[in-house]
Amino acid sequence: MEKFVLEGVKDFNLDHIFDCGQCFRWKKEEDGSYTGKAFGKEVNMDFVYDEGSDSEGTLIINGASREDFDNIWKSYLDLDRDYSQIKEELAEDPVMAKAIEKGRGIRILKQDLWETIVSFIISQNNNIPRIKGCIENLAKGFGEDGNLPTPEKLASLTVEDLAPVRLGYRAKYLIETAKQVCENGLPKNMEELQQLCGVGPKVANCISLFGLSDMSSFPVDVWVKRVMNRMYGIPEGNKKEMENFARENFGDYGGIAQQYLFYYIRQIDDEEK
């Protein structure tokens, strides 16, 4: 199988990238590599640190040609962005510095917009194993070649058709959103995102961040509420204040900051169990 190898990759860690809540379709192998699919191509990614380094090393993408790397994976992995610089700025805040230390290899994936929309509608009021299961069921049952069904395909289905996917009440959101996309095209910004059925402020921010690469998007979910209460003393119920805090302190990198915070609190939570 062909493979693509890239040395000298900085600020990169597969666990951090695939376990910070931004994607649901990558599977960790026993050897620590990850297998998954994006933009119709399935690959296996591995990362080997340079000797003595904990953030710089060599990326190996099994199943990818150089052309695929240039066209897909380079932008998918956000490799053109200088995270060192961003982390340096964010780390002026000592709380953020601590979070960055834990998730230093996080990168914001640039994902397919439609898949991101579908994935995060499914994610609402749901838990991760079930989210992953639903997405797999949807791809297997109604997609082609392992991909999620297109807007046209989804729009042609009924809630009854989707019953085996076990989406619960989200099925009708998905169908309605698919119809809206067929009618109006894909959304281009937060305002258009929130017109979609089943897309409120939280889901819209996730789609904006992971599907539209708007790094200033700051999704506030239960974990962010938890971590911002714990780290910054903001009351858990005060979402407005959290958004203001993010805008003032993280600015254009709110989404990246959110991912460090999210990963951090999830890790802390695991350690406390």
Applying CB under 7 A, the residues found at the interface with DNA are 20-22, 123-130, 163, 166-170, 173, 196-204, 206, 221-223
Three-class SS state of 211: coil
Tokens 């067929």 locate to: 182
In the chain, what is the straight-line distance between the N-terminal and C-terminal CA atoms, in Å? Answer: 41
Q: Which is nearer to DNA, 22 or 111 (CB)?
A: 22
Q: Which is nearer to DNA, 99 or 199 (CB)?
A: 199
Distance CA(105)–CA(84), nearest Å, equals 10
- At closest approach, how far in Å is the CB of 51 from DNA? 32
- At closest approach, how far in Å is the CB of 200 from DNA? 2
**Cβ–Cβ under 8 Å, residues 253 and 90:** yes
Q: Which is nearer to DNA, 74 or 202 (CB)?
A: 202
Distance CA(207)–CA(11), nearest Å, equals 23
- At closest approach, how far in Å is the CB of 204 from DNA? 6
Q: Which tokens is 87 given? A: 């982390």
Q: Which is nearer to DNA, 5 or 190 (CB)?
A: 190
Q: Which is nearer to DNA, 64 or 224 (CB)?
A: 224
Q: Which tokens is 237 given? A: 């119920």
Q: Which is nearer to DNA, 52 or 129 (CB)?
A: 129
- At closest approach, how far in Å is the CB of 66 from DNA? 31
The strand pair at 34-38 and 57-62 is best described as unpaired
- At closest approach, how far in Å is the CB of 197 from DNA? 5
Tokens 């904990």 locate to: 54
Strand residues in the chain grouped as ranges (E) = 3-9, 27-28, 34-38, 41-49, 57-62
Distance CA(218)–CA(205), nearest Å, equals 6
- At closest approach, how far in Å is the CB of 165 from DNA? 9
